[in-house]
A = this chain, B = another copy of it.
Amino acid sequence: MIDHEAVREANIAFYRAFENLNIQEMDTIWADEDYVRCIHPGWDARIGWNAVRDSWVLIFNNTFGIQFSVEIIDMMVRANFASVACIETIATLDQGTWQSGMVVATNLFEERHGMWKIIHHHGSPVIGGHLNQEAK
């Protein structure tokens, strides 16, 4: 249960860093390894922290404001490995108005020296709210 809570906090910290558009926060949250991976909605996979980090810098430089409401729909912890599925309800600031969207994400975490670091983020757009209902 302690691990579950630590993973939940790591997941929260990830979205907080994203909301803050703060690359230094991302630096502390992600494992600095060749094997970390990030798939942004509609993007191909980025592999390795350098490529993943560059993608965050690119996104942060092109984002004026973003807010997340994140619902964890499932969590799995196996030894030092954790997998979180969550629904991100996202509001983004675009030309002075807030737009909303929904993304479903797979986030993987690895425990290193007592810290849960994110090693994989895969976000994909949810098309049509009715699918949301079907999935229940």
Residue contact A79 to B76, C-beta cutoff 8 Å: no
The answer to whether A46 touches B135 (Cβ under 8 A) is: yes
Chain B residues lying within 8 Å of A85, measured Cβ to Cβ, are 37, 39, 45, 47, 120
Check B127–A106 contact: CB distance below 8 A. Answer: no
Nearest-CB residue, chain B, relative to A35: B76
Tell me which residues across on chain B come within 8 A of A1, comparing CB atoms.
none
9 contacting pairs across A/B (C-beta < 8 A): A37-B106, A42-B124, A44-B87, A44-B131, A44-B132, A45-B73, A78-B81, A124-B124, A124-B125
Q: Taking the full assembly, how many copies of this chain does it contain?
A: 2
Which of A42, A43, A79, A126 has the most CB atoms of chain B within a 10 A radius of its CB?
A43
- Residues on B with C-beta less than 8 A from A35 are 74, 76
* Distance A125 CA – B123 CA, assembled complex (angstroms): 10
Contact at A104–B74, with CB atoms within 8 Å?
A: no
